Amino acid sequence: MPVQVKICGIRREADIHFLNEFLPHYAGFVFAESKRRVTAREAAELIQKLDSRVKPVGVFVNAPPEEVAQTADFCGLLAVQLHGDEDGTYIRRLRTLLPAGTAIWKAVRVREEGDIVQADSTDVDILLLDSYTEKVYGGTGKSFNWNIVAEHPPKNTFFVAGGLTPLNIIEAIRTMHPFGIDISGGVEGPDGCKDRNKIAALFAAVPLG
């Protein structure tokens, strides 16, 4: 099965045009504190213009479960990506609130094998392995030690993230064998906006099956 591709940090109409051209499997909208943050209203307007083959995912950091569920419903999110300290109790509560069929993804910031083992015991649909930076929850553009994943792969279905670029993506896939990849800063230009040429380079490296 071809690797699933998520492009995260979509916030402009131009980004939507790029996604509609290249058709990644998923588009990420950040609702947490970030330079890429969008409001629910902005995301909903963008999602209406998104090709229906591209599934919208909302990124949240320690938001109240009621707010996550409300945003998922309002925007028509297919999945919510929890990128903070959300624990099992939080996730069980969120499941009771989310619209039926909304998947829960949980980000894990990997420093050592134990982080993966612990994350594997969480009842979620997908794990997302990202890099660890103190006091920063995500979108750091930093990669982590991929050998930890190669040597201790999660039992759960997993995506990898953190500092992925069109140049290192093939090595990341060959090393970690993920179900999917999630990339944000690696397809942005110096102005912090999504860059069509970098997205094209990503899809030249990772063809969609």
Contacting positions for ligand LGQLAAA5 (CB under 6 A): 8-9, 28, 30, 32, 34, 36, 59, 61, 83, 128, 130, 137-141, 161-164, 182-186
**What is the C-alpha to C-alpha distance for residues 78 and 203, in angstroms, rounded to an integer?**
23
**What is the C-alpha to C-alpha distance for residues 77 and 26, in angstroms, rounded to an integer?**
10
Whether 123 is catalytic = no
Closer of 34 and 98 to ligand LGQLAAA5 (Cβ):
34
Q: What is the DSSP letter of 131?
A: E
Closer of 69 and 140 to ligand LGQLAAA5 (Cβ):
140
Q: How many helices (H) and strands (E) does the chain have?
A: 8, 8
Which position among 8, 15, 115, 182 bears the catalytic label?
A: 8
What are the residues whose beta carbons fall under 8 Å from the beta carbon of 30, sequence distance 6 or more? 8, 9, 11, 36, 37, 38, 59, 139
Least gap, CB of 136 to ligand LGQLAAA5 (angstroms): 8
Closer of 96 and 122 to ligand LGQLAAA5 (Cβ):
122
Catalytic residue ranges: 8, 130
